[in-house]
Amino acid sequence: MMLIQRNNRPLFTMLLGSFELAVLRMSRYLDLQQNCVLYGDTMLPQDAFYTTDTAEMKLVSCVFELARSIAELKLTETELALYSAAVLLNPDRPGLKGLAEITRLSQAVIRALRSELDRNHVSPIKGDVTVCDAILTKIPQLREISLLHMDALAKFKRSQPHLEFPALHKELFSVDS
């Protein structure tokens, strides 16, 4: 089992990206009218995820807010896939190597994303802000939410050291401080 430390920057960065993608996928399972998310075969309201911990409550609020803002844009699967690729290939992630290649790939993905969005979302959202501009500005928010998630997990792990997480969860989100 892989335990990633924060000083192993490339792997830590990749793990942060996996939570960012989970938040983006969550946008597909939100019921915007009821402010509920499909979890398994049950619709759960945002309140169902709250705990008494204020940091965890902030995390839940931020996740729902961002997922809701993406869901409201009604992206196609292709647009969401291209956006997910743009999020993962962001050359601003700390600790990455091969920045020239990552930057080249990132720019190509963003061009494809912009082209797809311009074709499907002709009208700007507000003023001259396009859908592409709006979602690209959400990338730092996604990264911040992912860091909140890692901090919440580390705190939970310290408070419940005997608790065993499922294998996939450990693979994606275990961080030894």
C-alpha torsion sign, points 16, 42, 168, 176: positive
pLDDT 10s digits, 26-58: 999 999 999 999 999 999 999 999 999 999 999
Top-ranked range on mean pLDDT: pick from 48-57, 71-80, 123-132, 151-160: 71-80
Question: What are the residues whose beta carbons fall under 8 Å from the beta carbon of 83, sequence distance 6 or more?
Answer: 24, 75, 113, 135
pLDDT confidence of 1, banded at 50, 70, 90? very low
pLDDT tens by residue, 75-105: 999 999 999 999 998 988 877 788 899 999 9
Which pLDDT score, from 0 to 100, does residue 3 have? 41
Q: How far apart are CA 154 and CA 31, in angstroms?
A: 30
Rg of the chain (C-alpha set): 17
| Prediction pTM value | 0.85
Q: 82: which 2 tokens?
A: 């291209």
Quote the tokens at residue 148: 């909140």
